[in-house]
Structure 1
């Protein structure tokens, strides 16, 4: 399996050209980098810098809301390459890039740039067969995934409000790894306009027009319970990520009436409120019925089939990024401290979820997002030290 871009700098130039064109077409759009209780900054404002170091890697819960632009790069390590030194080197490069001291930024300010690194099950199993992150994802229905787009050893997630930064940083990091890494696939994506969902939080709309990511572990207590790994020590402070790239059948969904679209999701399209009533921040009342005995939230509605209480799992921090190539769709990313949170949810959705017939998954993988790092504790040193 060989990387399609054997010359990362050339690939980066092509990506930057595409981003320049896109930036020209979307001039005047605002970013979604406003924090809770603050209005979104004007286009000329410089987003607040996000430190790369700490107990957790940036790019998961910080910044809040998430930046508008993402590039996920999935790659394999050559079997002769030791992961520890490579990850430590990547961590040092991430620190200089996010600090704005790396000349490979080409003079651009880093703004709210974040880079998040994860390792795949093969590398985790080499460090410990029973460690969180050692299990591969099972196969699910409605998948059309080539071998190259399934799994992988390394995830590099790059996010920024400035779309120009993303391919430039990717080129710098791939150049840093050299021929020790072979790229499998990459996907860029963008988040829609943010909508207030209560308690100072916002969430974007997806390509289907609905507010996305309303439910999740938002409080510190919820995140300690459902998001962050508490142990073993080698992974404490990390989390588990699932990536799924999906094509969406937009014409068929758009042909539905608004009421039919809302029945698919179990929420109002305009407000995000559950069909059982309340506001966007209200939990759906799954037992609520009409006077003639019909459930207000249909039995196959997405909000019912994926509800954590129904599935019997914890919450997952979900992010969706709209994509326009290789086909219109979304890049779904979830973070959770137990892979079963995702697998049990999708298994239940597989049996009867009204949303799934509009999706086809074309790339998939799971990764242990490494604990945070600093000068004393290099990236990956707890696992591969």
Structure 2
């Protein structure tokens, strides 16, 4: 591997982080801001903490409105590394970080920091080849994925409203793992503005200007049906995650008229309402037609091609974030069957008006481990 292709070492990453924080401190103490006659700006309230322990891991349905910033880090375990002890140690570090008792937080309040840990198919197969999460993702069209950006043994999904917490938490977790892991890739991303779509439910806009993630298992009953794994006991309370990093052709999409953009998605850009009418939370009426017999929602519109009822699968809980350089989307979905994702994308591959504006550059699936606590270390039901 060429030197330029190697992921940064932990020491190099910490050095860069330290310079960045120092630069931020200097900028914050500029002469104008330090003048005693200037009014003191209001301090934003620290978000409420999110418990790391419990039946399920945090960072999926908790907090209910996803934090504004995310760092996804994918790594491999060394060939002789036992997953059980490593995961237990990572769980201890997660608990210390989220409660504010970790010295590695460098004095930052943890706020709504969450760390969600998943293991890749290779590790799941070590525990049981027939377990949920043991299957790799197949390849799809419109992919341009380097070898190190496909798959992986370990996922650390770190989320917080405060972006400074993300690299600090990542450095603490990697330091705890030591030489037992080798980083594959990482991606920082952020959420767009949240838009109300139903009572108690919001969804963010993506870089294409549309509301993203309206449909999903939002109620407890829907989540028990489509999100959480019910068994076997070693994975009960976990779920399956899919990560797909995509570049978006913003220039070509922006050249379309608003009507053409809405035809791609099958929804109104401003409100998220399906082209068949109703509200943003309404199910699209796929059979609705104009008086001259044309479908109100085009046959290749995204909401039609990805509709779970038409595909014959359950709902995904999508928790996607937008990326800056290059502009794109870090698609993240959680579901209790991998087929929910693979069957949906296979149908989209055949004819979905949105896909030609995307190129996938990273792809992986992980078993998100069940929740943990002091008497039940992270990963112990699977690797204990």
| Structure 2: distance between partners of 1:55 and 1:23 | 39
User: What's 1:14 paired with?
Assistant: 16
- The question of 1:145 aligning with 2:138 is answered no
* Cα drift, residue 324 of structure 1: 1.3
Partner deviation per Cα, 1:36-69 (whole Å, 9 max, x = no partner): xxxxxx9611100001100000000000100000
Q: Which runs of 5+ in 2 are unaligned?
A: 28-41
How far apart are the structure 1 equivalents of 2:106 and 2:175?
15
The structure-2 alpha-carbon separation of the partners of 1:302 and 1:20, relative to structure 1 and needing over 3 Å to count, comes to farther
CA distance in 1 between partners of 2:297 and 2:16 (Å): 46
Contact 1:76 / 1:152 at 8 angstroms: preserved in 2? yes
Matches within 5 A, 1:112-151: 112-151=112-151
Superposition map of 1:1-385 within 5 A = 4-5=6-7, 7-15=9-17, 44-325=44-325, 327-385=326-384
- 1:202-249 deviation digits (Å, cap 9, x = unpaired): 111000000000000000000000000000000000000000000000
Q: Report Cα offsets for 1:122-167 as digits up to 9, x if no partner.
A: 0000100000000000000000001100000000000000000001
Change over 3 Å in CA distance of 1:155–1:19 after alignment to 2: farther
**How much is the aligned-residue C-alpha RMSD, in angstroms?**
1.9
Partner of 2:276: helix, strand, or coil? coil
Aligned residues: 368
The answer as to whether partners of 2:91 and 2:377 remain within 8 angstroms in 1 is yes
Which whole-Å deviations, capped at 9, do the CAs of 1:269-322 have from their partners, x for residues lacking one?
Answer: 000000000111111000000000000000000000000000000000012211
Deviation at 1:200, TM superposition (A): 1.1
1:327-368 deviation per Cα after TM superposition (whole angstroms, max 9, x unaligned): 110100000000000000000000000000000000000000
What is the deviation of 1:12?
3.5
Paired with 1:16 and 1:211, the residues of 2 have a C-alpha distance of 36
- Contact in 2 for aligned 1:20/1:164 (Cα 8 Å): no
User: Is the 2:86–2:177 contact (alpha carbons within 8 Å) kept by the matching residues of 1?
Assistant: yes
Residue 7 of structure 2 contacts residue 185 of structure 2 at CA under 8 Å; is this kept in 1?
Answer: no
**Secondary structure class of the residue paired with 2:86:** helix
| Structure 1: distance between partners of 2:43 and 2:279 | 30
The structure-2 alpha-carbon separation of the partners of 1:302 and 1:18, relative to structure 1 and needing over 3 Å to count, comes to: farther
Q: What's the CA shift for 1:7?
A: 3.2
Aligned to 1:30: none
Length-normalised TM-score, structure 1: 0.93
* Contact map agreement 1:119 1:155 (CA 8 A) in 2: yes
Change over 3 Å in CA distance of 1:196–1:16 after alignment to 2? farther
8 Å contact kept, 2:7–2:184: no
Contact 2:68–2:190 (CA under 8 A) maintained in structure 1: yes
- Residue 6 and residue 292 in structure 1: after superposition, are their counterparts in 2 closer, same or farther (change >3 A)? closer
Is contact 1:23-1:163 (8 Å) kept?
no
Q: CA 1:377–1:157 in structure 2 vs 1: closer, same or farther (change >3 Å)?
A: same
User: What are the superposed Cα offsets for residues 23-43 of structure 1, whole Å, 9 maximum, x if unpaired?
Assistant: 999xxxxxxxxxxxxxxxx96
Task: Return the alpha-carbon distance in structure 2 between the equivalents of residues 200 and 129 of structure 1.
Answer: 40
User: Structure 1, residues 80-99: CA drift from partner, whole Å, max 9, x if none?
Assistant: 00000000000000000000
Structure 1 residues without counterparts, runs of 5 or longer: 26-41
**Alpha-carbon offset, residue 187 of structure 1:** 0.4
Q: Given that residues 4 and 183 in structure 1 are in contact (C-alpha distance below 8 angstroms), is that contact kept between their aligned partners in structure 2? A: no
Distance 1:93 1:343 in 2: 33
TM-aligned CA deviation for residue 20 of structure 1: 8.5
- Which has the higher mean CA deviation after the structures are superposed, 285-294 or 14-23? 14-23
**Cα separation, 1, equivalents of 2:25 and 2:211:** 24
Counterpart CA distance in 1 for 2:43 and 2:282 is 32
Contact 1:19 1:163 in 2 (8 A): no
Relative to structure 1, the CA distance from residue 287 to residue 361 in structure 2 (aligned partners, 3 Å threshold; closer, same or farther) is: same
User: Take 2:25 and 2:364, find their aligned partners in 1: how far apart are those partners?
Assistant: 30
With over 3 angstroms needed to count, the CA separation of the structure-2 counterparts of 1:296 and 1:21, relative to structure 1, is farther
Residue 15 of structure 1, CA deviation: 4.6
